[in-house]
Amino acid sequence: MDLKIVGWTDYDSSYPSITVSNEEVVPLIQIIIDEILDNGYMISGTDHQNQVACVPVFDNGYCFRATMRAWGSVMSFAYQEIDGKETGYMDFYMSTPKERKLPEPNKLDVEPADSDNFNGFLLPQDGELLTQTIQAGIPLMTTDKALIKIGELLKKRMGNQEDEE
């Protein structure tokens, strides 16, 4: 995969989310991991969605948005062990196990790609949570921006299907 991270933006920026095939996910994540490790970044899922420069932007004008759990997984792949303890996504979900280190905000020289995809990557656990709350008819109680957006889209689609029947 010939992508390069050219900077970092905020979650709500105008850069659309990258879409890749299943075969391209691992190489894409490796690009992000390499950037994290090369710079010693320590970014939680909360930081990824709420801080100024915690969403990587690629040279093709797309960015990598993720649910807080999915971002936590990326970080745990980067830092598989800290202080002799194996990490998991929950170690990076809302905070970091070591002192936080975020990318410096900078002006990006790449224009946003022409796409309306602003969804984030999610984990199976995220999908299960969305399915359970929709099936139970209960509100989704989360601060996760990706889950809120995807949940709204799913409810809208389900409402449209019911209207057609």
The tens digit of pLDDT for each residue in 102-151 reads 999 999 999 999 999 998 899 999 999 998 998 888 888 898 999 998 88
Distance of alpha carbon 29 from alpha carbon 109, whole angstroms: 22
DSSP string, 83-100: TTEE--GGGTSSS-SS--
Single-letter amino acid, residue 64: F
Q: What is the mean pLDDT of residues 87-96?
A: 96
Nearest Cα residue to 129 out of 88, 70, 71? 70
Query: What is the pLDDT at residue 45?
Result: 98
The tens digit of pLDDT for each residue in 46-74 reads 999 999 999 999 999 999 999 999 999 99
Beta-carbon contacts of 159 under 8 Å, excluding residues fewer than 6 positions away, are none
Using DSSP's 3-state secondary structure scheme, residue 142 falls into coil
Q: What is the mean pLDDT of residues 3-21?
A: 96
**What global pTM score does this model have?**
0.91
